Amino acid sequence: MPALASHRKPRTRVRTTPAIGLTTAALASVTLLSTQSATAAPAEPKPGIEEVQKRVDSLYRQAGVATQEYNQAKTASAEQRSKVDALLEAAAKRADKLNETRRELGGYAAAQYRTGSIAPTATFFLADDPQSYFDQDQLMARMTSQQQKAVADFRTQQKEAAAKRVEATKSLETLTKSQASLRTSKQQVQTKLTEARSLLSELTAEEKARLAELERKKEAEARRKAEELARQQAAAKKKAGQGAKEEAAKPGTGTGTGAGTGTDSGSGYATKAEKVLAFARAQIGKPYVWGATGPSSYDCSGLTQAAWKAAGVSLPRTTWDQVEVGTRVATADLRPGDLVFFYDDISHVGIYKGDGMMIHAPKPGANVREESIYYMPIYGSVRPA
């Protein structure tokens, strides 16, 4: 019997070369895609520490501006609230007076009704809107002079009450706008401070150390300039004193009591300045808090306002308004107690203490302290009183 032929297919040898080629192509494709992805969206380079310092300083400054806007809106809101309350109270009083007059007129009408005279008068007095009757000559002719005066008073009071209601409504609208501005400024402050904290939180320990070193250098340079100003002021004071002595020693100048023209006013200012600085020194170490006016924390203009209040001088709330108070003073002529303002936008202020130094509430995260007036770019200075 012949052997049966096998139906199994012959085993074929598997070639691995194409698979290897496919794997290589796949890897190359992945590598190419990765390269293209990296090329299309390169990682943003981390800012240098100097750039971080500039950004943080800028954010704090922007927060300072927003703080002054907040203070301004808060003051306006408080003033408008007082005005609205006063108007509402006045409107209520006028309404009471109007109702009293209405009752008086009602009494006249009731009396006429009882006597049976002038029946239409009752309708006139008791109507909600008697205006249509005011021009009726026949009715007015039948009224006594006392009744006519009561009617005239009623009309006047109606107009005044309506005017007060309109004024109160407008004041409420203004108050609503002030409160909206207050909320916006508050949000702006919080946003800027959050950005600044976020930048600082991303720094490594080494970067924080470098940032601290940059701050120390900045403070040292500011102190150097303050010391130079102190030397210049001391020299100018000495020269002025010598000149006064020489003038007093000249023949025919009398006892020299007139050599110090303006001394009385200067002495009065110095007395106030001592109180201002005594108050300011007592606040050293308390935290800066935007929008704060004491007693446990302050912002920059809140501190200056409170310090001068201790000397009996009332200053407005914001730096923008405080800079308009008193007399402008050159930096070389600064005296203790003067206010020094900073930046072109006048967003910061400190109290000059002498020798190129000031006491101020610097920024969020810092406490009230003494510092060189040259730590920030000076806008100008004023002598408040």
pLDDT digits (tens, 9 = 90+) for 275-292: 999 999 999 999 999 999
Cα dihedral sign for 363, 47, 194, 74? positive
Alpha carbons 132 and 249: distance in angstroms, whole number: 90
Interhelix angle for 300-309 vs 49-115, to 10°? Answer: 60
pLDDT digits over 157-181, tens only?
777 777 777 877 777 787 788 788 8
Question: Residue 260 has what pLDDT?
Answer: 41
Q: Is residue 47 reached through a cis peptide bond, with omega within 30 degrees of 0 on the bond before it?
A: no
pLDDT digits over 255-276, tens only?
544 444 444 467 799 999 999 9
From 348, 353, 363, 383, active-site residue: 348
- Which has the higher per-residue pLDDT, 3 or 290? 290
From 186, 317, 360, 383, active-site residue: 360
φ/ψ (deg, to 5) at 35: -65, -40
Query: Residue 17: is its pLDDT beyond 80?
Result: no
Q: How far is CA 209 from the centre of its chain?
A: 33
Q: pLDDT band for 122, please (50, 70, 90 cuts).
A: low
With CA atoms as reference, report the closest residue to 354 among 207, 232, 248. Answer: 232
- What's the mean pLDDT when you consider all of the chain? 79
Cα dihedral sign for 86, 87, 88, 92? positive
Question: Residue 6 has what pLDDT?
Answer: 45
Alpha-helical regions (H) of 250-262: none
φ/ψ (deg, to 5) at 342: -130, 155
Please answer whether residues 349 and 382 qualify as being in contact, where contact means their C-beta atoms are separated by less than 8 angstroms: no
| Residue 7 designated active-site | no
From 73, 300, 358, 382, active-site residue: 300
Amino acid, res. 53:
Q
φ/ψ (deg, to 5) at 245: -65, -45
Query: Residue 318: is its pLDDT beyond 80?
Result: yes
Q: Strand pairing of 369-372 and 378-383?
A: unpaired
pLDDT digits over 40-49, tens only?
555 567 778 8
For residue 227, what are its two tokens?
A: 């010391």
pTM: 0.65
Alpha-helical regions (H) of 310-354: 319-322
| Residue 348 designated active-site | yes
φ/ψ (deg, to 5) at 371: -160, 160
